[in-house]
Amino acid sequence: MDKIDNFLNKNFDEYEIYQEKSEYKSISFESNNLKEISVKQSQGFAVRAKKDSKITFSSSSNYDLKKFQSHFLELSNYSIDTKINFPSKSKGANTNIFNKEDFNISNNYFIDKLKKEIDSILKKFPNALCDAGFNLAIGEINLTNSNNLSLNIDESLVSFFISAQIINGNDMLNIYKYDTSVSNITEEKISSMTESLKEDLSIAQKISSTPKKGCPVVFTPHGLYQTILSPLLVSFSGTNLSKKLSSLCDREGEKIFDKNITLYDDPHIDLSPSSRNYDGEGIPTKKNVLIQDGKFINGIYDLKTANESGKDTTGSAGRSLHSNPSPSTSNIVMQNGENDFLKIIKNIDEGILVDHLLGAGQGNELSGDFSANISLGYKIEKGKIVGRVKNTMISGNAFKALSEIEEISSNTESVYRSLFLPFLQTNNIEISS
């Protein structure tokens, strides 16, 4: 890369070189049998360079440096105005985001584990078809810039999923469990996921009557993420705040949500693959409070969007090889409440529990609106979960849904190990079927 350094030094005022190298392995079972083992090795680099307060970006995975330089010079004729400066090095946190050893665990270990979990499902549900798999990844990021920043970041990831399908008549029931970590997922954790999948299968095979309009709606942690947080976080993104497209623009300190809502982005949770000590631009990360007691506190910024909004970066630059950095969340945590989930549903005479949606996130997310078909949801009757609901859609608005909360549970669960959320009951949700 010395050649690139020389080229950039000669032609630009300031520059940054981002290099990424990674290895993946995936072991996947389909329809109860081992289907494929695949491995992947990838590498590449991306460059941002500034001249006269204008910035140019390009990336490559073919290491044809001559061609790269000629493309880069051509692009620099159309470079984009910028006021950002590449940071010099400062000390980041020391969160554990890397485990080298687990990547080398034998294939047979994972194959046996997957077989065992699938067999345990088939023992109880002989007509189920299971897919399951492990994915492992190990990556090395090297970030340098002309202001003497030089960072080497090692990352690792192990993820496990298992799903089961049961078809009755024309009804196809599919239940899916997933977890991920920086290091291998414990046997206890995997067994408990399989057990919970079996419990869900038992109860979901029974199809309940359609819920009546206006009945209480409770979201599981996953349902809360998919339905409400996912569109909500769009408005916290520096990309939309800097363009004044977010309705939260210039409203810091204003009470917008229910006073029981506190939400923050915590990049320093050990063993979470979403944790990071430095962001994609080399800024040390820190906890970023988004909502405190219902008040909007801060958005999610990288250098560019912070600069355009007149704020400080929150160290939230996410990055992939072939695109410019942009603001992204690490671990999103919602403060829990007082009552246990079981106590919350105990008080419900007729309602629904929403867990998975189909078609969420395909509408006008900036307005906070959501609308989706419930692909996995349960009917609550007289305080108990009695069966699954089908052919039912919910719609509403994330801001409205969080402005008046009925209940937030005391117990929280991790969703994809990057969101730590309670169960939540709210009003203002429309049900149609």
Partner 1 sequence: MNTKFKNIISETLKQSKSNYKEIRIEESLSTRINYNGDKRENISINSQLGGSVRSMANGGWGFSSFNDINKAPEKMKESIELAKYNTNPSFEIYKNNPVKVEIKPVIKKDPRSIKLKDKINLLDHYKDIILSQSSIKGCEIVYGDTERKVIFSDSEGNEIEQNFIHVILRIAANSSDGNELLQSGFSIGSLGDFSIVENLDKDVLGCAKKAQNLIKAPKVSGKETTVILDQILAGVFVHEAFGHLSEADNVDENDRLKEILKLGTKFGNDDLNITDGGKIPELRGSYDYDDEGTPSTKTPLIREGVLVGRLHSKETASKMSEKVTGNARAISFAYPPIVRMTNTIIENGKSTKEDIIKDTKDGLYVKNWYGGMTEHEMFTFSSAETYRIKNGEIKETLRPVKLSGNLFTTLKNIDGIANDLEINQGGGCGKGGQMPLPVSNGSPHIRINKCLVSSG
**Between 246 and 314, CB nearer to partner 1:** 246
Nearer to partner 1, 245 or 342 (CB): 245
* Contact present, 381 and 346 (Cβ < 8 Å): no
SS (H, E, C) 142-197: EEEECCCCEEEEEEEEEEEEEEEEEEECCEEEEEEEEEEECCCCCHHHHHHHHHHH
Per DSSP (E only), the strands in 79-149 are 80-81, 129-145
Closest-CA residue to 193 (of 424, 378, 416, 420): 416
Minimum Å distance from CB 245 to partner 1?
6
Nearer Cβ to partner 1, position 91 or 169? 169
CB of residue 375 vs partner 1: minimum separation in angstroms? 5
Least distance CB 62 / partner 1 (angstroms)? 4
* Gap between the Cα atoms of 136 and 155, Å rounded: 11
Closest CB 82 distance from partner 1, rounded Å: 11
Nearer to partner 1, 57 or 341 (CB): 57
SS3 of 36-75: the string is: EEEEEEEEEEEEEEEECCEEEEEEECCCCHHHHHHHHHHH
Cα–Cα distances in Å, from 136 out to 27, 112, 113, 281, 294?
Answer: 9, 16, 15, 25, 39
Residue 237 or 329: the one with the smaller Cβ distance to partner 1 is 237
User: Nearest to residue 208, comparing CAs of 429, 395, 381?
Assistant: 381
68 vs 296 by CB, closer to partner 1: 68
Residue carrying the six token digits 């049900």: 431
Residue 251 to residues 235, 289, 296, 299: CA-CA distances in angstroms? 12, 14, 7, 10
- In angstroms, give the least distance from the CB of 157 to partner 1: 14
Task: Quickly count: other Cβ atoms within 10 Å of residue 407's Cβ.
Answer: 22
Neighbours of 206 (CB within 10 A): 11
The nearer residue to partner 1, 284 or 361, going by C-beta atoms, is 361
Q: How far is the CB of 418 from partner 1 (least distance, A)?
A: 17
Report in angstroms how near the CB of residue 254 gets to partner 1 at its nearest.
Answer: 15
- The residue (of 61 and 202) whose beta carbon lies closer to partner 1 is 61
Query: What contacts 60, CB < 8 A, 6 or more positions away?
Result: 44, 45, 46, 68
Quick check: 375 and 396 in contact, CB under 8 A? no
Are the C-beta atoms of residues 317 and 301 closer than 8 Å to each other?
no
- Is 351:220 a contact under the CB 8 Å cutoff? no
Token code pair at residue 332: 């999103």
Do the beta carbons of residue 248 and residue 296 sit within 8 Å? Answer: yes
Phi then psi dihedrals of residue 389, to 5 deg: -100, 145
CA 197 to CA 192: how far, in whole Å?
A: 9
Q: How far apart are the two ends of the chain, measured CA to CA in Å?
A: 59
CA atoms of 338 and 8, how far apart (whole Å): 57
Please give the residue ranges that form the binding site for partner 1 (CB under 8 A). Answer: 30-31, 33-44, 57-62, 64, 67-68, 71, 74-75, 77-78, 80, 107-108, 111, 127, 129, 165, 167, 170-172, 174, 239, 242-245, 247, 322-324, 358-359, 361-364, 366-367, 369, 371-373, 375, 391, 393-395, 430-433
Structure tokens at 368: 């906070």
Closest to partner 1 by CB, 150 or 391:
391
Closer residue to partner 1 in complex, CB, 34/386: 34
C-beta of 324 vs 347, nearer to partner 1: 324
